[in-house]
Amino acid sequence: MRTRIVGTGFVTGENRVTNHDLQRMLDTTDDWIRERTGVEQRYYAEQGTTTSDLGARAAEQALADAGVPKEAVDLVIFATMTPDFYFPGCGGLLQQKLGLRTIPAIDIRQQCTGFLFGLSVADAFLKAGQAKTVLLVGAEIHSGFMPWGQWDFLFGRSAQGPTADEKALYTQFRDRAVIFGDAGAAAVLRAEPGERGLLGFALHSDGANHEDLFVNTGGMAFRPYMSEAHLREHRQMPAMNGRSVYRMAIGLLPEVIREVCAAQNVKVEEIDCFIAHQANLRINEAMMRALKLPEERMFNNIQRYGNTTAASIPLAYHEARKQGRIKPGSLVCFAGLGSGFHWGAALMRE
Ligand code: UT7
C-alpha cells in the first residue's frame, strides 16, 4: 500500500496586488522585486476572511477533485503559521466549517515546510491503518503581519493613501512586505495498492538559528504575551535575516534532495518534476544549478502568488498537475525549508 494524493484544490485571498500597487505603499520598485524574488503579484485576503476560511474553501475543491464525499474524511491535518486565533488551531475550525464528522483534527506548525511534514504525518496514519481518508490543508493569511492600515487604498477603493512618514515607516519592512501572499491549498490522501504514491521522506529540524526568521512577540516568552509596546515597535512583522535564510536554503535543499534520493535508491536526474517551496525564485534556480539539472524540471508559480508559506507546495503541485507538468508515472520531488528551522524532501510516484 502506498499513500496517494487523490485530489487537490486551492484558493487565494480575494484581492490581487501587483508590485506596482505596492509601490504606492512603500519605497520599492517592480524591477527590484522581480529581479530579487521573481514575484510579480500576490493576493491579500479581504478583512474578515480567515485562514480557516481559505483552508475550508481549498478543501472543498480538493474533495470535489478527488470525488470523495466529506463524510469519508477521517483525519484533518492543518498546517499554518498564521492561525485565526492564538488558540484553538485551525483544524477544528475547518472541521466545523466543512461540517465534517467529529473526526480528529491535528494542527501542525512547520511554517514553509508545513505541508511536507503534514504529508509524512498523513502517510504514517494511513500506513498504520489509523485513517483511510486524510484531508491535509496548508493555508496562510500573511496580511495581518503587514505594518500598514490603508487596505482600501491598496485595493483601489479609496484615495486615502499613506502619508510620507507612514510610507517611510513601511519601507523599513520592505524586504519582507513584498514577498508574502495569502492562499489556501489542500490535498486528499488515501492508501492504495500499487507502486504509485509517496516513496519516502528526509526531514530535519534545528532550532539553533530560529532568530533568523521568527515573530518576536505574541508568545509566552513575554508577560503578558502581547503588549502595546510590542505593537509600537511593529514586532508583529516577522523578523528576518533574509541573506542568512537564503544561504541556508541554497545549501540545505540540494543536500536533503540528494539524501532522500539516496535512501530510495533513485538518481536525482530521474526526477521529472520538482515542487519546491516558493520562497524566492532565485533560491529555486540556485537549487537546480546545485543539482546540475535544467531549470525546466522545477515548477515555479511564485510569480503569481508570492510566498504563501504552508500553501505554497500544494498550490504548486496542484497547478503542475492541472497543467500536465506532472503525469501519471512522473517521479515528483517535494522540497522546502522554513522557519524553525525545518527542512526536508519527499519523493512521490504520481
Ligand atoms: O519562506 C520564508 C523563508 N524566507 C526566505 O526564504 C527569504 C530568503 N531571502 C530572500 O529571499 C532575500 O534575502 C530577500 C528577497 C528577502 C531580500 O533580498 P536581498 O537581496 O537579500 O536584499 P537585502 O535585504 O540584503 O537588501 C539589499 C538592498 C538594501 O538596500 P541597501 O542597503 O543596499 O541600499 C535594501 O534596503 O535592497 C534593499 N531592499 C529593497 N529595495 C527595494 C530590500 N527590499 C527591497 C524592496 N525594494 N522591496
List pLDDT tens digits, range 99-131: 999 999 999 999 999 999 999 999 999 999 999
How many A from CA of 316 to the centre of ligand 1? Answer: 23
Instruction: Give pLDDT tens digits for 160-173.
Output: 999 999 999 999 99
How many A from CA of 242 to the centre of ligand 1? Answer: 6
> pLDDT band at residue 177, thresholds of 50, 70 and 90?
very high
Q: What is the pLDDT of residue 73?
A: 98
Please check whether residues 178 and 68 belong to one and the same domain: yes
> pLDDT band at residue 19, thresholds of 50, 70 and 90?
very high
- The phi and psi torsions of 50 (rounded to 5 degrees) equal -110, 170
Q: Whose CA is nearest to atom 13 of ligand 1?
A: 242
Q: What is the pLDDT of residue 60?
A: 98
Please check whether residues 160 and 252 belong to one and the same domain: no
Question: What is the span of the domain harbouring residue 252?
Answer: 197-349
Please check whether residues 180 and 249 belong to one and the same domain: no
C-alpha cell at 40: 510579480
Please check whether residues 227 and 253 belong to one and the same domain: yes
Please check whether residues 88 and 204 belong to one and the same domain: no
> What are the pocket residues of ligand 1 if the criterion is a CB atom closer than 6 Å to any ligand atom?
28, 32-33, 36-37, 112, 174-175, 178-179, 213, 242-243, 245-246, 249, 279-280, 307, 338
Please check whether residues 55 and 96 belong to one and the same domain: yes
Please check whether residues 97 and 202 belong to one and the same domain: no
Please check whether residues 141 and 243 belong to one and the same domain: no
Catalytic residue from among 19, 261, 277, 280: 277
Q: Whose CA is nearest to atom 12 of ligand 1?
A: 242
**How many domains does the chain divide into?**
2
Q: Domain boundary residue among 164, 192, 220?
A: 192
Please check whether residues 12 and 100 belong to one and the same domain: yes
Please check whether residues 264 and 140 belong to one and the same domain: no
The question of whether 277 is a catalytic residue gets the answer yes
> pLDDT band at residue 249, thresholds of 50, 70 and 90?
very high
How many A from CA of 179 to the centre of ligand 1? Answer: 9
List the one residue out of 66, 73, 56 whose CA is nearest residue 122: 73
Q: Domain boundary residue among 175, 192, 209?
A: 192
Q: Within 13 Å and on the Cβ side, how many CA atoms surround 248?
A: 24
Torsion of CA 41, 246, 113, 81, to 10 degrees: -70
The question of whether 112 is a catalytic residue gets the answer yes
Q: How far apart are CA 335 and CA 254, in angstroms?
A: 9
Q: Whose CA is nearest to atom 10 of ligand 1?
A: 242
Please check whether residues 301 and 187 belong to one and the same domain: no
Q: Domain boundary residue among 192, 222, 256?
A: 192
Q: How far apart are CA 333 and CA 349, in angstroms?
A: 9
CATH number for the domain spanning 12: value is 3.40.47.10
Please check whether residues 109 and 7 belong to one and the same domain: yes
Q: Whose CA is nearest to atom 25 of ligand 1?
A: 243
